Amino acid sequence: MKVLVCGGAGYIGSHTCVALIEQGHEVVIYDNLCHGSISAVDHIRQLSGASVRFVEGDIRDRESLEAVLATGFDAVMHFAALKIMSESCRFPLLYFDNNVAGTITLLQAMQSTGVQRLVFSSSAAVYGDPDVVPINEDAPLRACNPYSHSKLVMEQLIEEVCDARPSFSATILRYFNPAGAHPSGLMGEDPCGVPTNLMPYVAQVAAGLQERLHVFGGDYPTRDGTGVRDYIHVMDLADAHAKALELLRRGGCHVLNLGTGRGYSVLEVVEAFEHVSGCRVPYEIVDRRPGDVAEVWADPSRAEHALGWRAQHDLVRMCADAWRWQSMHPHGYQSAQVIELRQVVPSTGLR
């Protein structure tokens, strides 16, 4: 298929582009570079050997989207969302503007250009504090912050479009905790400032870029008192997206969890990373963060049945690939430059 990857210069989007090209698909990347990097696009080209087209544009810019989509596409992958929970609490209007309004604009542009297939990057955050673990797709949905609420609204919009237009098909993928990097070390997670995700935070402490890891809460009812999460390798996520394209041929709307089915505590991740890197990761137990829950991990059986997919990489491999990326890119794609969050003005262009 020919696929427009919105947000394809970001962490998960860039790894997915490589997987798509390896499986014979043609990829065009559409990204406003708010959190993505043009260097990631260069590495996609290097790893795939393909002359990937890149369009700089904002998902809220319907004219730009329609101009690109009008060149002919079989499907769209939608990664173009802001994603930091704590940040969403400070900038709720920005999150709803980019995530929800942007998704409406994308769906309108797809409708006007006749593109009928969509793979959407959602989040296990829509489950909130679960009643039981592992979590399956029928669990109650309890978005508890602007980020997760925006993801839930985005899901509902897509489902409503599928209901209203039988010709439209979508696959909604609810990730648990993406981690790791491309095994080459050329692509990985490049957070702005102090990381909010555990794995890059641990990697920066191991590399000496951060003094110590703050562990938010040591008194949860878990095996060592720290929070337990389902960490999934970004390359496993990328593979699931490629398989999701085939599921779109069946029509309808499909909602699938992407996880390993196993949870690891914060201290277990620290221990594994120390073992792989040979570096000490000093940490300090601090107060819990509002909204954090004790244990979250997936029941991924529906994805295995629907996609023929199962996560292949374990925690040690995630740590090893994350450490290789960190060692090769100690300051991320942009050397020592730290890019602050900005409210991006819709723009267009071709690179």
The Cα 195–Cα 19 span in angstroms is: 25
| Residue-wise DSSP of 143-173 | --SHHHHHHHHHHHHHHHHHHH-TT-EEEEE
Residue 319: is its pLDDT beyond 90? yes
Q: Which of 337, 341, 349, 325 is nearest to 43 (CA)?
A: 325
Give residue 340's pLDDT band: very low, low, confident or very high (50, 70, 90).
very low
- Tell me the domain boundaries of the chain: 2-328
Q: Which of 165, 304, 169 is nearest to 250 (CA)?
A: 169
What confidence score (pLDDT) does residue 231 get?
98
- Write out pLDDT tens, residues 93-135: 999 999 999 999 999 999 999 999 999 999 999 999 999 999 9
CA-based radius of gyration for the chain: 19
Neighbour count for residue 34 (Cβ, 10 Å): 19
Higher pLDDT, 38 or 343: 38
The Cα 117–Cα 245 span in angstroms is: 8
Take residue 234 and report the two structure tokens written for it.
């970004």
Give residue 46's pLDDT band: very low, low, confident or very high (50, 70, 90).
very high
Residue tagged 């023929």 (tokens): 308
For the chain, counts of helices (H) and of strands (E): 12, 14
DSSP one-letter code for 339? P
Pick left, alpha or beta for residue 34 (phi over 0 → left; psi -120 to 50 → alpha; otherwise beta).
Answer: alpha
| Residue-wise DSSP of 53-109 | EEEE--TT-HHHHHHHHTT--SEEEE------HHHHHH-HHHHIIIIIIHHHHHHHH
* Overall average pLDDT of the 28-46 stretch: 96
List 2's β-bridge partners, or say none.
26
Residue 184: is its pLDDT beyond 80? yes
What confidence score (pLDDT) does residue 30 get?
98
Give residue 290's pLDDT band: very low, low, confident or very high (50, 70, 90).
confident
* Overall average pLDDT of the 5-13 stretch: 97
Residue 342: is its pLDDT beyond 50? no
Q: Which of 158, 53, 171 is nearest to 111 (CA)?
A: 158
- Write out pLDDT tens, residues 166-178: 999 999 999 999 9
Domain 2-328, classified CATH 3.40.50.720, yes or no: yes
What confidence score (pLDDT) does residue 339 get?
33
- Write out pLDDT tens, residues 241-279: 999 999 999 999 999 999 999 999 999 999 999 999 999
pTM for the structure as a whole: 0.93
Q: Which of 201, 183, 202 is nearest to 193 (CA)?
A: 201
Residues designated as active site: 147
Neighbour count for residue 212 (Cβ, 10 Å): 10
Average pLDDT, rounded, for the chain? 93
